[in-house]
Amino acid sequence: MQVNHIHDFHLNHEDAFLNLQMELKSQIQLTKSITADSLKTCAGVDLAYWEEDGESVGVCSIVVLDVNGRNIIEKVHSVGKINVPYVPGFLAFRELPLIIEAAKKLAAEPDVFLFDGNGYLHHNHMGIATHASFFLNKPTIGIAKTYLRIKQTDFEMPDDRVGAYTDIVIDGEVYGRALRTRQGVKPVFLSCGNFIDLESSYQIAMSLVNQESRLPIPVRLADLETHALRKYYQENKKFAE
């Protein structure tokens, strides 16, 4: 898959991170580009980290799903040492090098990427799903398992029924949704990444949920794959494929 080169990652201070976020933020397009009915393939993206000999190591897994048959058509991953320091609010800079490396290995070009993380639901509207979209040049959706509290704003718990949601509104703007994908199970936190609108993101996410998890199928599969790969690399102490 072709991946755009938007910027380098040789950054070491918050001002540089923030300037890039603000530059990209002005280019976000939350407009309808694809619907659940027209979706043919989708990808789930997840990352996991661990410490090895005092250094941070990460693995990224991308799992591509055929939507109609619900079968996996491709799996790729990348693994390596993490060179970008963790700075709150700028996690994407730490995760993107591995995501880009994995995406370049894809033979398929998924219609949409679903990330285990936030998108527009971020202090600067630049969570991993949004930031990654500029490199991938595809519609992206963020599905977070935990709530990122912004400007001291809490979310309202949705009703306990499948598909129920409450919009997360901060300073009069909708950042995302607290979404109940399964009854009796904690909600997930849905937000647009980029090149897609919130209603389409909601419809796509709901169309990809089954009884096995509150997460959409591609995100769940990427999560399982990432944890299996982390275990493998930890046991074998091998960071290159």
The per-residue pLDDT for range 127-170, each reduced to its tens digit, is 999 999 999 999 999 999 999 999 999 999 999 999 999 999 99
In the structure, what pLDDT confidence band is assigned to residue 238 with cuts at 50, 70 and 90? low
DSSP string for residues in the chain: ------------SHHHHHHHHHHHHTT---S----TTT--EEEEEEEEEEEETTEEEEEEEEEEEETTTTEEEEEEEEEEE--SPP-TT-HHHHHHHHHHHHHTT-SS--SEEEEES-SSSSTTS--HHHHHHHHHTS-EEEEESS---BTTBPPPPPPSSTT-EEEEEETTEEEEEEE--STTS--EEEEEEESS-HHHHHHHHHHT--TT-SS-HHHHHHHHHHHHHHHHHHHHT----
CATH number at residue 188: 3.30.2170.10
pTM of the model: 0.95
Residue 9: inside a domain:
no
- Show binding-site residues: 46, 116
Residue 13: inside a domain:
no
Mean pLDDT within 97-110 = 97
Percent of the chain with pLDDT over 90: 88
Percent of the chain with pLDDT over 70: 98
pLDDT confidence of residue 86 = 83
- Show binding-site residues for Mg(2+): 46, 116
Residue 195: inside a domain:
yes
Asked whether residue 241 carries a pLDDT value surpassing 60, the answer given is: no
pLDDT confidence of residue 219 = 97
Mean pLDDT within 207-219 = 95
Residue 198: inside a domain:
yes
pLDDT tens by residue, 164-174: 999 999 999 99
Residue 190: inside a domain:
yes
Number of domains in the chain: 1
Residue 64 belongs to domain spanning: 40-236
Residue 19: inside a domain:
no
Residue 91: inside a domain:
yes
pLDDT tens by residue, 7-54: 998 877 788 999 999 999 999 999 999 999 999 999 999 999 999 888
